[in-house]
Structure 1
């Protein structure tokens, strides 16, 4: 998503100044204005409106969307775009559920393991929560504290600060269909529904998942074709192109069932030399949706071979919150795209942040953030003693305050603004 608030300085560097001074005072992250950050066409639509007040936590901007289907809290500009697309999808599903064809599908269903006749407007999702911390722990020095999923099952991670645990996310995004609907062909039918809607079939949006289940099951069990807002002559290729462009997901996510994707991901890790127990830990991580897991591993497979790729998998496994894994996946995508243009010689992990080592000795750390303020935590990251004397670059996708820019320059960081 192109944002007026995050200018792209392609390949530009803020070189460290020999006379730069570290700011004496820490900043309080600002409350920003959504109307100055988001494109005008995203601020409101037929079924939603984005609130103008958008507080920053020092790294990410928090937005609130009021919609016909409940309140959605979004962390970062990317999630705003995702939720807007999903709100539109829910509206289309609601329209389908009021049609005679949907009623006929329900009538034909011999057994429906979900409440297929529940109206979407009867139980709107209310997700108003206090502003949670998001990605700050990525920038802390963690040393050897990374643990495996098996060691953390049933526990929230130390930096949760009110964030949902892995178990809370287990019900959403684990597969295209729930265990109750493990009927041959249903997974493919739901993947096709998601493709037509241009949404992630494994989205953590529980409301979207419920409505996709309801509508898909009625048509699948009733033996009826489902066409959502597209003409009957639209081909699968054009639908796939639209969906992948909207979500950024590879086409195979819509063509391959969860079981087949799991087999591919397991094979990828084996080829990369990931130990067997660590592979099992990946599949034990309940916060990892199918699309997140496949996205991270696909991007990792494009990086240079070596032990660094195993370290990345270890870092991924240690994350037990959905938002953290979204950030991690975005960081890996950022690195893979940069590697395609400026090849790395090695993939590295700084704490929990993935990075790449360049041929001329720079460690480039991916940080897909919105707005960086010079807080105490940011300052501690910039001054990390485990990187003293190292040549280092921070790849960010958003913007920095003047104090943060000065602070990073004074601690010998080069900052690269990327897409």
Structure 2
């Protein structure tokens, strides 16, 4: 029946074109896997955030089957941003940077002060677009499944003249005023933040002068990242100490707690958010399974992803399905609910049925069969391709799409 098969494929192609960019994943010839789509920012995001006074979002959005990868154009260079949730954070940071620059315009900062600020601040990571990036950090993790980092973060932010004089404290205080992470990997934010903190610390104006624009930042919509549960003005070493103690109280050994705290890919704020999310799940057993997964985090993007995943599981446990314990599913992570179901939750932007995700689904299926659970549930925070949804349901999974309100 070659004619009927050709007609079916043609009809499927027309349907995908009519359904719009989110459904435009190209189905392979055998219809068992698909190529991740290229999406349009205009179809994914509210029109009011597509551009601002100091940025524009490129309409072409690449997807690797897991996360959307955006390019944000600014006068100071392009930012590569992995995931829609991180995009909202970056846009808030750009808005904050613009507000800081309005204050900085009236402040004279000499060359020596500027250099002091540059030398005093650690951990500015370059997120400028790099040619050849085809997979997100999450995508690379799903492909490799396991990795480990041998680097160690500095135990605190002391040891520089700036910190000894209180410069880094001024950085943290200014960041708190404008509602941003002082350890953000956004170089544009850091440039503005350093100037403002330098001016404040070196006496160009008093602390109160940093307030204009800080409290008046416009919310980018109800999908923007929630306000941090962490006081960003707390010195990082104090955060690390508290995180170690919380992890040990959950049953982690001192060595395990140290491995997570010393992982350089989590900023102090991300690390604290993750630990606080795990700490909220007091009735959930085997949290060490989650902790051990996080120890293997080998990229900054994956650190953001796993922080959000911990918060997603914590919110599901509090608001939807009560969790009994975490379990390993091959090289991955899942939870068993108190209703004796297997629950897999990922903060993905768009789940396509790639060969890799098909293999991961088999791994979760094997775990469900071995545990003899009564139900199987797969939760994502974004979209699921029709083919992925169909194949998951055929394997006995219910598929839920939770929006950002439950993250």
Q: 2:177 aligns with which of 196, 204, 208?
A: 196
Corresponding residue to 1:387 among 342, 367, 385: 367
* Residue 132 of structure 2, aligned match among 130, 133, 155: 130
Structure 1 residues 191 and 364: alpha-carbon distance in aligned structure 2, compared to 1, 3 A threshold: same
| Higher RCO structure, 1 or 2 (CA under 8 Å, sep 6+) | 1
- 376-385 or 125-134, which moves further after superposition? 125-134
Distance 1:394 1:185 in 2: 48
**Which residues of structure 2 form unaligned runs of 5+?**
1-19, 23-29, 120-125
Structure 1 residues 131, 301: closer, same or farther in 2, change over 3 A?
same
**Superposition CA RMSD, Å:** 3.5
**Is it true that 1:153 corresponds to 2:156 in the alignment?**
no
Please report how far the alpha carbon of residue 184 of structure 1 lies from its aligned counterpart in structure 2 after TM superposition. 5.4
Q: Could you tell me which of 242, 252, 255 is aligned with 1:264?
A: 242
With structure 1 as the length reference, what TM-score do the two structures score?
Answer: 0.76
Q: TM-score by structure 2 length?
A: 0.78
Tell me, yes or no, if the aligned pair for 2:61 and 2:71 is still in contact at 8 Å: yes
Q: 1:61 aligns with which of 57, 68, 78?
A: 68
Aligned pair 1:378/2:357, yes or no? yes
Instruction: Kindly indicate whether the alpha-carbon contact (under 8 Å) linking 1:177 and 1:186 is maintained by their aligned counterparts in 2.
Output: no
Classify 1:41/1:178 alpha carbon distance in 2 versus 1 (closer, same or farther; 3 Å): farther
In the alignment, does 2:226 pair up with 1:248? Answer: yes
Mapped contact 2:284–2:324 kept (Cα < 8 A): no
The answer to whether residue 39 in structure 2 is matched with residue 32 in structure 1 is yes
Are 1:339 and 2:339 matched, yes or no? Answer: no
Instruction: Identify which of 292, 312, 330 aligns with 2:270.
Output: 292
Once the two structures are superposed, residues 98-140 of structure 1 have per-residue CA deviations (whole angstroms, 9 ceiling, x without a partner) of 31xx21x65996x962359xxxxxxx98434333322235546
2:306 to 307, 313, 328: 328
CA distance in 2 between counterparts of 1:178 and 1:129 reads 36
1:67, 1:178 → 2: CA distance?
33
Distance 2:317 2:284 in 1: 15
* Maintained 8 Å contact 2:157/2:163: no
The offset of 1:252, in angstroms, is 3.6
Shift of 1:189: 2.1
**Structure with greater proportional helix content:** 2
Shift of 1:276: 0.9
Residue 390 of structure 2, aligned match among 379, 389, 406: 406
CA shift at 1:96, angstroms?
2.9
Structure 1 CA distance for aligned equivalents of residues 367 and 244 of structure 2: 33
Measure, in 2, the Cα distance between the counterparts of 1:291 and 1:331.
15
- Verify the 8 A CA contact 1:67 1:87 in the aligned structure 2: no
Using the alignment, how far apart are the partners of 2:305 and 2:209 within structure 1? 31
The Cα of 1:415 is off from its aligned counterpart by 0.9
Whole-Å Cα distance in 2 between the matches of residues 176 and 228 of structure 1?
Answer: 25
For 1:363, which of 329, 342, 348 is the aligned residue? 342
The answer to whether the Cα contact below 8 Å between 2:35 and 2:354 also exists between their aligned partners in 1 is yes
Separation of aligned partners in 1, 2:36 and 2:127: 29
Query: CA shift at 1:258, angstroms?
Result: 1.2
Tell me: CA distance 1:336–1:213, structure 2 relative to 1, closer, same or farther (3 Å).
same
Question: Tell me, which stretches of 5 or more residues in structure 1 are unaligned?
Answer: 7-22, 117-123, 155-166
Aligned length: 362
Q: Which of 186, 195, 198 in structure 2 is aligned with 1:205?
A: 186
Deviates more, 1:268-277 or 1:300-309: 300-309
Aligned-pair CA distance for 1:317: 0.9
Structure 2 counterpart of 1:283, from 245, 254, 261: 261
Say if 1:138 and 1:125 are closer, same or farther in 2 by CA, change over 3 A: closer
Q: What is the alpha-carbon distance in structure 2 between the residues aligned to residue 54 and residue 108 of structure 1?
A: 41
